[in-house]
Amino acid sequence: MISPRSALAALVLVALVASPLAAQRYFSLRAVRRPAPPAGSYVPGEVIVGFAVADDFARVERALRGVGGVAARRSRHGGRFLVTLEEGRSVASAVAELEAMPEVEYAEPNGIVSAFLTPDDPEFELQWHMRQIGAERTWDIQTGDPSVAVAILDTGIAYEDFGPFRKAPDFGNTVFLRGFNVFDGSEHANDDNFHGTHVASTVAESTNNGLGAVGLAFGCALMPVKVLDSDGTGTFFGVSEGIDYVVNFRQDGQNPVKVINLSLGGDFVSTTLGAAVDRAVDAGITVVAASGNEGKRGVSFPASHARTIAVGATDGRRERAIYSNTGPELDVLAPGGNVDRDDDRNGFPDGVLQQTFDPFTAAVFGRYDDFDLFFVDGTSQAAPHVAAIAALLYTQGITDPDAIRESIRSTAEDLGPEGRDDDTGYGLVQPARALSGLGLNQ
């Protein structure tokens, strides 16, 4: 469980969820399992037919009526017809019969096309947050590459089977780098809270694999770095250690980590942690941090540090979420949700929907294998959307953290008064605009 702030809150960092789990700020889909979408990739009851004798309307009509055609529309360009079949008539059998006719050049189902990747993950339809920032348009430009990694400095990730821990089921295609646990110095950065797995899934949950939900930069790799304990708390020193691990990491002589996500924060400025952020940015790593959930003026640290990208949250209405902190350091907003609302009226709370394990089962029984999809709200959930965009920009060719931050800022959708303001920053992130701004996919 994520502990409420105590009198010692100024000495620790807390995972930035909108309120403690005791307030039930999460919602599981466990009890809701809808049928899979219909199989097939063509319009039911429609056939395209190309006739060699298109101007012989008597033969055309006879052929179409013979296979159960009840309506037909001729193309403006040539001898093809779009035919609607009578109810219950099989498309496959109609195509077979038409192809056997001498007057028919070809026949085929009326296939469905899409300009963008529409993933087959069954719960994508409930991820309003991905649609809010145009994920499908983004994927038409860039989906990421495993040579670019995002380090998730959090409670760990459910990324491996180790001891009592289990790998989350929808990380099957996700690439993981060697992690680090600042509490014991090992490489086993396993999640014992729930928070880090949910955050990581927004970045790179396996996508278009017919399972669960989607991640925004699903082609990129993840690095788990455990800097928060099972209560979701850690220290400036521990987070600094985690950042330095990322900065010094090498694989085949290179550091593939180009983005750090910090869905955490504290109440005062730390020289130690600020210096660690500076080392990361100087090493070419973009640092993204959550602004905080107290609904107050004043961005949490390290989001308030000048060299991070400070991220606030929107709800389902494309408005700043009521809990999202404001201030002059705020850069942009991204979807964070509000589980008290259902603005799309689909019967589900407007939290960010990603996979993780049940925090109640973990806290009470010490089990880390009870996985499901959970709606969670907070600036913690907003930040990884921006970390994913940064990783896609790096994959696309922008390698300087300052340029990445400027690209994200300058292409955001202005939600407040014209220009930047302290409540909404530069506005709601628009990844497709940022990526197409390179001129690679106009």
Catalytically annotated residues: 154, 195, 380
Q: Residue 358, Cα to own-chain centre: how many angstroms?
A: 20
Q: Which residues pair with 108 in a beta bridge?
A: 48
Check whether the bond before 302 is cis (ω within 30° of 0). yes
Are the beta carbons of 395 and 145 closer than 8 angstroms? yes
190-220 burial by CB neighbour count: b if 16+ within 10 A, else e? bbbbbbbbbbbbbbbbbbbbebbbbbbbbbb
79-118 burial by CB neighbour count: b if 16+ within 10 A, else e? ebbebbbeeeeebeebbebbeebeebbebebeeeeeeebe
DSSP reduced 3-state for 288 = strand
Complete edge-to-edge strand list for the sheet that includes strand 337-338: 26-28, 371-376, 350-357, 337-338
Instruction: Give the DSSP letter of residue 425.
Output: B
Sequence-ordered alpha helix ranges (H) in 165-213: 195-204
